[in-house]
Every structure is written in C-alpha cells, then in structure tokens.
Amino acid sequence: MSKEIATPMKTKEILQKYGFSFKKSLGQNFLIDVNILHRIVERANITNETGVIEIGPGIGALTEQLAKKAKKVVAFEIDGRLIPILDETLAQYENVWIIHQDVLKADLQEIVHKYFKDCKEIMVVANLPYYVTTPIMMKLLEEKLPLKGIVVMLQKEVAERMSANPSTKDYGSLTIAVQYYTDAKIVMTVPKTVFVPQPNVDSAVIRLQLRNKPLIQVENESFFFQVVRASFAQRRKTLLNNLQNNLPNGKNRKQQIIETLEDVGIDPKRRGESLTIQEFALLSNALYKYFQ
C-alpha cells in the first residue's frame, strides 16, 4: 500500500483512526489523488531553496508533497482536531511547522521574518477552503509580503474571475485586484471527483506571479480600489450611476464625476465591466482630487 497520504485508502484509514468528521462550516474537502498533488507542486516550481506557506493542510496530503521538495513548509490550520493528526502524518518531515491559527488573524510579516530568513524565495501553495478564498487572497496581496508567487486550488469559477478579461461576465473588482498585484493564469482544472467529501463544483489551480511593481501607477491605492468597487456595485448600472451612488458624497459630486469621465475620454454610459485596469487607473487618478 502506498505510504502517501493522498490515496483513498490511506485517507480513509487516517480519518477512521481518529474518528474525524468533516465540518461543512470549514469547507473541508481532502484531495485523494496523488498525481494531482504532484502536478500542483510542479506548477509551483519549488526547489530546496524555497520556503512555502500553506493554508488549510487538512491531514497533510499536500504538505507532505511540499515537504519533499521545499526547504521548509509553514502551514496554518484552524481546526484543532487536525493538529494531532498532522503531528502523526508529517512526523518524518523535520522541515514542517504547523501553526494552529486562522490565517486571516495571523501576522504574516512576522511569520516570514521568523521562519523564512534563510530561504531564497517564498511561495504560497494551498488547497484553499472555498468559503474564505477571497479574503485570504486579498490578505496575501494587500500585506505586500515578499512572495515570489501564489499557486492555489480554489473553486473553478473564482479562478475564472481572477484571470478574466474585460467585458466578460467573470470580470469584476476581484479580477482588478488580482491583476493589479500579479500576473494570473489558470494552470489546471480539477474534477470534483478527486475530493472527499465531494464538493458540488469543480476546482482549478491558479498561478499568480507577483509583479515587481503594480501593473499601473495610481495616485492613491485605496482610492483606486474604492473607485473599482463602486464601479461594479451594481453590474447593470452605468459607470456614472454607480460612481455617484457608491463613492462617498458622490451624489453631490455628480457634475465633477461627469466632467472627469469626459476629460479622460470615458463615456459615462459605459458599464464598469467594460473598463480595462489602465482606464480605472486613469479615472481614479483624475477623480482623486475631488475625493481627498
């Protein structure tokens, strides 16, 4: 029998031994296909110089494959019931540290400083719980960690939103945020049949290569994202409508919004989803003086 964790038989054996039951509220779906794990690790280009942050290791199926290639792996697990299981399944790997904490509450700068000083590069590699995918991704990007890249498995439709093009149904504020910081590419799709329990939807693995500097230059980053979120607040509404209804005191600044849109050559009747990231930068830079 294979010693690797991610086989149906080995997974079942571990779960039975500990009497483990899945918590729907934590979005727990464990991978039971070793080949897919090998491919994920491959896509992340991990070497013995790489430090890896993992989120939601479960029973250690992906952690084990990462530990074989990386210099060290630091994994965040929120579910205390999994800590003794991980202690056993990963006992032979001395380069793995499990932190029993919600990654959304963790001080990741401190973790990087404490664990990865001797690593040449840092990657995030994870099978993310569906229900907190977006907040986790935004935390990783907004905290400006010294990451080389992020390779994560997530719900296929979320991966499609992250890598979408303008004027498509998947394009939105998440797309802009991800593309502002990274170059995003779906590298594989994963059928729901390779998980236990089986989720309702298929998954995809997305690779995000961190940019050395953002794709565009903006006057004020938080205002830029405010403009983006406002523009997508109601997808069927025009840009003018969304901006005046969703920017602070926007209704009283309707005239300035119209003039700014015309100045930068953007038709007020367009919808947010038709704007490129470059157009959003142009617009937010021009609007910024009115909203400081």
Binding residue numbers for S-adenosyl-L-methionine: 29, 31, 56, 77, 102, 127
Sheet of strand 203-210, all strands in order from the earlier edge strand to the far edge: 96-99, 72-76, 50-55, 121-127, 149-155, 203-210, 182-190
> What type of residue is 241?
N
| CB-based contact 266:283 (threshold 8 Å) | yes
Is residue 30 within 8 Å of residue 11, measured between CB atoms?
yes
Q: Strand, helix or coil at 42?
A: helix
Q: Is 274 exposed, middle or buried (0-12, 13-18, 19+ CB in 10 A)?
A: middle
How far apart are alpha carbons 146 and 104 in whole angstroms?
17
Q: Residue ranges for the binding site? A: 29, 31, 56, 77, 102, 127
